[in-house]
């Protein structure tokens, strides 16, 4: 991760010339219950990447994609948006390593932000998590995740949950995400694609410079 971060910051003059970059990430659930959606999640992610690549500020954006089930994988490691490949096919099976995966992504984003700001650049953060189940593999990571989410929100990050057939308020609070920025959708293939369009539009606005840039209030966890 350290080498990737250094490469991102130093490799392209285009990415740094403007003095402002956007770091965005998509986290997609690939546990067994997501198998019913077929290839729709992957196709939605690839459309998201393709659309953002056409943005005038694509040279000033860094993105990555993580999928998770029993383990998490940087399917597309952090890199300049203009160089991002499309997401290859993957199988959906296994359990739900939700907290550990989101924590990993937030740490990566905050590290990239810190390294970039040390060089004098303004950084916008945008993270979206798609999941159709609660965590059942990393409950020990919940407290650290909530604390890290609070740090990201205080830094002006946009943290969004797309809850597929779940209570968006509970799941978002369990991760320290703002419920007001969460979306609850049906367990339906079309709903995933439609929701991703909204994610793309929000990220597009952030890259344009009209996204949220002020700190948000940390979110207390839901009561159990």
Q: Tens digits of per-residue pLDDT, 133-180?
A: 999 999 999 999 999 999 999 999 999 999 999 999 999 999 999 999
What pTM was estimated for this model as a whole? 0.89
- Work out the pLDDT band at 10, boundaries 50, 70, 90: low
- Work out the pLDDT band at 18, boundaries 50, 70, 90: low
Domain boundaries 2-9+21-208, corresponding CATH code: 3.40.50.410
* Domain ranges (residues) in the chain: 2-9+21-208
DSSP string, 37-106: GTTHHHHHHHHHHHHHHTSTTGGGEEEEEEEESSSEEEEEEEEEGGGPPPPPP----S---HHHHHHHHH
- Work out the pLDDT band at 13, boundaries 50, 70, 90: very low
Q: How far apart are CA 128 and CA 159, in angstroms?
A: 6
Closest CA to 131 of 21, 22, 41: 41
């Amino acid at each position: 991760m350290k080498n990737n971060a250094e490469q991102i910051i130093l490799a392209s003059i285009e990415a740094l010339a403007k003095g402002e970059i956007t770091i965005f990430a998509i986290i997609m659930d690939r546990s067994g219950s997501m198998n019913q959606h077929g290839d729709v999640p992957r196709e939605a992610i690839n459309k998201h990447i393709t659309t953002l690549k056409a943005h005038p500020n694509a040279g000033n954006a860094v993105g990555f994609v993580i999928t998770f089930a029993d383990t998490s994988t940087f399917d597309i490691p952090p890199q300049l948006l203009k160089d991002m490949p499309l997401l290859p096919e993957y199988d959906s099976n296994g359990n739900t390593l939700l907290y550990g995966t989101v924590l990993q992504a937030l740490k990566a984003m905050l590290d990239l932000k810190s390294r970039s700001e040390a060089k004098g650049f303004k950084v916008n953060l945008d993270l979206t998590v798609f999941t159709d189940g609660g965590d059942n593999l990393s409950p020990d990571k919940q407290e650290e995740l909530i604390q890290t989410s609070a740090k990201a929100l205080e830094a002006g990050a946009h943290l969004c949950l797309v809850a597929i057939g779940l209570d968006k308020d509970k799941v978002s609070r369990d991760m320290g995400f703002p419920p007001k920025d969460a979306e609850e959708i049906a367990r339906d293939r079309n709903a995933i694609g439609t929701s991703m369009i909204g994610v793309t539009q929000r990220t597009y606005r952030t890259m344009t410079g009209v996204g949220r840039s002020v700190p948000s209030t940390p979110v207390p966890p839901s009561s159990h």
